[in-house]
Amino acid sequence: MAASLRRRFLVEASLLQVFLTYPDLPPGPLTRLRAANVDKEKLARIAVDHGIHRFLRHKAPKLEEQIADFVKELCQYEYHSNGLLDAPKVLSDIVESLIGAIYLDSKYNQELVWQVFQKLADPLIRLETLGRHPVSELLEFGQKSGRIVDISKDGWVKDTKVDVFVDGVLVASATYAQKKEIASNRAAKAALDKLKEMSGQSDVLSAPALGEAPEPLDELGRAGALEL
């Protein structure tokens, strides 16, 4: 089964089952839950949780290193990092291929395939285990509080750094050389953590006026130390 067909099947099957499982769920959470079921990191996590990644055959030392780093970092997040980790695509491909093979072998029995997928993914696909994406939460903070939030990626090409400004004040920074998106997510997470620290509350909307900018956070442990 081609990669595009595997992905489309997972998307369509996930959307149908989410509707059936949560018929009264509002559009927002419904969309987040559906997206989480086909998220690359979540599928990669399934491969690791069930040891499927150990059966991958390749001759790429760099890939082996990437997988090892991902497995090590997973322990920092119980269900999902919400964009802070860079999951090797090959791991999600393995799970998609497995589901696609079961789909074909079961003569296109979507209900059976979904039952298998639920057992593999549980509890990752539950509504109560959904996290919030840091960039989305930060932008929502700006909209609701009337503050100007600017996630500046101008410096990423030069030094792999992304800065977050709130009302023109530098709140946090993060670096990640491989992907600009990951750097942005980590910078947003660091900014949220800083705002919560300043407010002394878990709700960033309660944050006080911003003071001096902190030192840049360029390590995952520092950028994502506080669970949201």
User: Can you read off the two tokens belonging to residue 26?
Assistant: 């509002």
List pLDDT tens digits, range 81-131: 888 999 999 999 888 888 888 888 888 887 888 888 888 887 776 776 677
User: Can you read off the two tokens belonging to residue 153?
Assistant: 């990626």
- Of 60 and 139, which is predicted with more confidence? 139
Instruction: Return the amino acid letter for 179.
Output: K
pLDDT for the residue 3? 58
List pLDDT tens digits, range 22-65: 777 777 777 777 677 678 888 899 999 999 998 888 888 889 99
Give percent above pLDDT 90 in the chain. Answer: 30
pLDDT for the residue 59? 81
Secondary element (H or E) of residue 173: strand 169-175
Sheet holding 149-152, edge to edge: 149-152, 161-166, 169-175
User: Can you read off the two tokens belonging to residue 49?
Assistant: 């949780």
pTM of the predicted model, to two decimals?
0.71
Are residues 73 and 220 in contact, defined by beta-carbon separation less than 8 angstroms?
A: yes
Cα–Cα distance for residue pair 183/164, rounded to 1 Å: 11
Cα–Cα distance for residue pair 137/188, rounded to 1 Å: 9
pLDDT for the residue 154? 86
List pLDDT tens digits, range 158-207: 888 999 999 999 999 999 988 899 999 999 999 999 988 887 655 554 44
b/e sequence 72-111, b meaning 16+ C-beta within 10 Å: ebbeebebbbbbbbbbbebbbbbbbebbbeebeeeeeeee
pLDDT for the residue 165? 94
What is the fold of 134-223? Double Stranded RNA Binding Domain (3.30.160)
pLDDT for the residue 17? 66
The residues, any chain, with a CB within 8 Å of residue 66's CB and separated by 6 or more, are 86, 88
CATH 3.30.365.10 fits 3-129, yes or no: no
Q: How confident is the model at residue 12 (pLDDT cuts 50, 70, 90)?
A: low
CATH 3.30.160 domain extents, the chain: 134-223
